């Protein structure tokens, strides 16, 4: 099951306790569905039995009456049944933005029927689609009231609200009460961050290592050139010592090599000796 489907299944089990929020959630569901308005209410449909059960439960709680559902059974293997449910007009509300609790429920309902979220292991992307411009603006306002900034794209009268940041998507899941999904998301994010950190460290080590190796090879080239042209015996004692140590320990870092000198010298002092050797080699 995809992360999106798992998240929805989890949200199908979240039932807001207050009537105001139950109405707001039904309103969110109606808000993202191509509206089939009848004189009795709004017809919405879903392929998910758990979501259908939730809608019926919400209708029952809000109106005190059973909802009307028709099921179109699919004969194709692998295809889902389609549950078509009539949401009575009096079960939806205009007061979706009044209280934070209702705003959350409104967003939950909209996501359940019109949303999807990518697996955070692949990409950070959450979206809710609707054909109604005023509804998408309400969703943006609801998100904004919680400090979340959503993007909107409009294509052929289809409005797409989206979140593209890991942080924002995690906040959204927290708001609507998808705690399991949130947990999964946080775990993936921790692993991702850790991988990035390790990669950075490894790259940094590799870069340093390469620099050390390149410098050592250059030094050996200089030393060989001097050795070939004038011989190492004609070098000053300190330069000769450095040159012989480098030839004996081609792989050593400057620091390790410095400790082999008597008396030991630091990195920069030894580097200075190799610079003098390099200048000498260049003159020869
Ligand atoms: Zn409420």
Give pLDDT tens digits for 207-257.
Answer: 777 888 888 889 999 999 999 999 999 999 999 999 999 999 888 888 889
Please tell me the distance from the alpha carbon of residue 86 to that of residue 67, in angstroms, as a whole number.
Answer: 7
Question: Burial code of 142-168, b = ≥16 C-beta within 10 A, e = fewer?
Answer: bbeeeebebeeeeeeeebbbbbeebeb
CA of 53 to the centre of ligand 1 (A): 21
**3-state class (DSSP) for residue 272:** helix
CA of 63 to the centre of ligand 1 (A): 16
Neighbouring CB atoms inside 10 A of 88's CB total 16
CA of 236 to the centre of ligand 1 (A): 87
Q: Which pair of structure tokens corresponds to residue 202?
A: 């490894």
Instruction: Using alpha carbons, list the distances in angstroms from residue 65 to 22, 34, 68, 210.
Output: 14, 24, 10, 75
What is the pLDDT at residue 35?
65
CA of 100 to the centre of ligand 1 (A): 7
Residue owning tokens 């590799």: 206
CA of 153 to the centre of ligand 1 (A): 29
Task: Please say whether the beta carbons of 27 and 96 come within 8 A.
Answer: yes
CA of 244 to the centre of ligand 1 (A): 81
- For the chain, domains (ranges, CATH) are 3-188 (3.10.28.10), 198-283 (no CATH)
Q: Give the CA dihedral 234, 239, 242, 243, nearest 10 degrees.
A: -40
Task: Please say whether the beta carbons of 91 and 109 come within 8 A.
Answer: no
Show the low-confidence residues of the chain (pLDDT under 70). Answer: 34-35, 77-78
CA of 173 to the centre of ligand 1 (A): 18
Q: Which pair of structure tokens corresponds to residue 216?
A: 């050592």
CA of 97 to the centre of ligand 1 (A): 9
CA of 189 to the centre of ligand 1 (A): 31
Dihedral angle sign, alpha carbons of residues 41, 43, 44, 50: positive
């Amino acid at each position: 099951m995809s992360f999106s489907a798992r998240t929805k299944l989890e949200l199908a089990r979240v039932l807001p306790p207050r009537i105001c929020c139950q109405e707001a959630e039904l309103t969110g569901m109606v808000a993202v569905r191509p509206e089939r308005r009848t004189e009795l209410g709004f017809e919405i449909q879903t392929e998910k039995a758990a979501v259908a059960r939730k809608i019926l439960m919400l209708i029952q709680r809000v109106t005190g009456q059973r909802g009307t559902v028709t099921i179109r059974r699919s004969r194709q293997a692998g295809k889902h049944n389609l549950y078509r449910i009539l949401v009575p007009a009096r079960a939806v509300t205009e007061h979706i933005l009044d209280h934070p609790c209702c705003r959350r429920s409104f967003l939950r309902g909209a996501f359940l029927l019109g949303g999807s979220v990518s697996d955070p292991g692949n990409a950070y992307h959450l979206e809710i689609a609707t054909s109604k411009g005023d509804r998408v603006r309400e969703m943006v306002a609801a998100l904004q009231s919680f400090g979340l900034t959503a993007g909107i794209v409009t294509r052929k009268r289809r409005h797409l609200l989206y979140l593209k940041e890991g942080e924002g998507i995690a906040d959204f899941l927290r708001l609507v009460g998808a705690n399991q999904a949130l947990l999964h998301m946080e775990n993936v994010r921790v692993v991702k961050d850790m991988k990035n950190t390790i990669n950075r460290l490894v790259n940094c080590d590799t870069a340093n290592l390469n620099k050390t190796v390149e410098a050592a090879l250059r030094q050996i080239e200089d030393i060989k050139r001097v050795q070939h042209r004038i011989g190492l015996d004609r070098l000053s004692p300190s330069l000769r010592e450095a040159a012989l140590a480098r030839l004996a320990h081609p792989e050593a870092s400057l620091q390790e090599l410095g400790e082999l000198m008597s008396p030991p010298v630091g990195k920069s002092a030894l580097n200075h000796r190799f610079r003098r050797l390099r200048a000498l080699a260049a003159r020869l």
